[in-house]
Amino acid sequence: MIPRGEHGISRKQFSPNAIKVLYRLKDGGYDAYLVGGCIRDVLLGQQPKDFDVVTNATPEQVKKLFRNCRLIGRRFRLAHIVFGREIIEVATMRGHHEAQEDKNQISQSSEHGQLLRDNVFGSIEEDAERRDFSINALYYSINDFCVYDYANGLAAIKAKQIELIGDPETRYREDPVRMLRAVRFATKLDMQIAPASEKPITELASLLDNIPPARLFEEILKLFLNGKAQQNFIMLRQYGLFKSLFPELDRILDKKPGGLEETFIKQMFANTDIRINADKKVTPAFVFAALLWFPLIERTEKIRRQEQLSEYDAFAQAINKVLSENAQHIAVPKRFTLGARDIWHIQQRLDKRAGQRAYRLTQQPRFKAAYDFLLLRVDAGETEHTELAQWWTQYLGQDINGQKEMVRELGHQGGPKPRKRPRRRTTKKPTE
């Protein structure tokens, strides 16, 4: 127990809505604490974004206290308290499965040791033991304003170590996503994964194949849209975790280490990090378009050879196959796969600029993303497209008259040939 005078944390550093939830639970006769990342981030001098609450009230009891509450989750039941756009997540303290007595509390594991149902409740001490990393097992109480450290989390923060609570192999088997979280926390907090926690990762990486694709999509967003995407990519490859997320791309990268493909992906993530850290928007459609680009090119060539199709038809077929296979690993929502499709299709149309084609192409909603995609390809080493990228860069910097002049200079390059008028047949009048 770290008293108020020693930890330097103030209630003002937390969301006012999170504090409201704590007091409402307290007034309802329940114990309640802020827990996890928000405590860790404040201690590290960072601004917390999410505020999680843990309580000894069951989800149903929480719902009775809050009209703005909705219960979610099957694997582990949670209460979401909604304040406009902000959601305060409230979890009931978890217990050990061996101590399960109440029939209403359900626990279920797979043959690999993965927890499929985890609705077993317990004390705060048990809850701390059930948390994943020691840096996340810190609790803040509004009763005495103390911080409770049950797993040497403060020592881990000082040592800059990401360490699992309990036996690492068992904990990873319970939830293989913890391997992804270990990587994300290490890069986000500028820490190292503790040797004991690091050791089993490569051996157990394939357990990610058992995680629902929808859940992996959420983890991908956290890994690649947090400003540390390039570092996360390198670590995922290092531990063999990337293979379960993007197996086809991983195989291509293994075949050509340090090649154009790896340069392209690293540059894409570096650019993404720059935009995120500058508070600019990045669409997941662009990221997935880049991650699946080389599998798409490879598949297009294979279909073209095998089925003797035109490049355009083979490309269209390959898009469907690549997206279908990717959905078996990561369930990317349709709004993002449609965006990726547009970016890919525009790549094939960028050299068709004659007449009104260039102007019409710039009116496409995804044109700017597709143009950035072309620049990325050139930067990575596709020098055969350098002249095309320079033309589009110059074109976009011109006014309407300048653009028309650039198109006129192209002549009919890339456009349809002018149609010749058919000759009229004239019939000779019969001579008398």
CA distance 249 to 258: 14
Q: How many CA atoms lie within 13 A of 420 on its CB side?
A: 3
- 3-state DSSP assignment of residue 86: strand
Which residues on adjacent β-strands are paired with residue 78? Answer: 72, 91
313 is catalytic: no
DSSP letter for 97, please: G
| Strand 69-72 versus strand 106-109 pairing type | unpaired
- 3-state DSSP assignment of residue 70: strand
Segment 352-355 long-range contacts (CB within 8 Å, at least 24 positions apart): 352/414, 352/415, 353/391, 353/395, 353/407, 353/410, 353/413, 353/414, 353/415, 354/407, 354/410, 354/411, 354/412, 354/413, 354/414, 354/415, 354/416, 355/407, 355/415
* Annotated catalytic residue within 50, 313, 351, 379: 50
52 is catalytic: yes
Contact status, residue 340 vs residue 397, Cβ threshold 8 Å: no
> Taking the alpha carbons of 118, 19, 177, 251 in that order, is the dihedral positive or negative?
positive
27 is catalytic: no
Structure tokens at 265: 């992906």
* Annotated catalytic residue within 41, 132, 175, 250: 132
Please identify which residue in the block is written with the tokens 């499965």. Answer: 97
- Report CA-CA distances (Å) from 307 to 57, 257, 293: 62, 30, 21
- Report CA-CA distances (Å) from 343 to 151, 271, 292, 367, 375: 48, 17, 12, 7, 13
CA distance 249 to 293: 9
Strands (E), 26-85: 32-35, 52-55, 69-72, 78-83
Of 164, 374, 178, 193, nearest to 268 (Cα)? 374
Residues 6+ apart with CB under 8 A from 298: 248, 252
Q: Which residues are catalytic?
A: 50, 52, 132
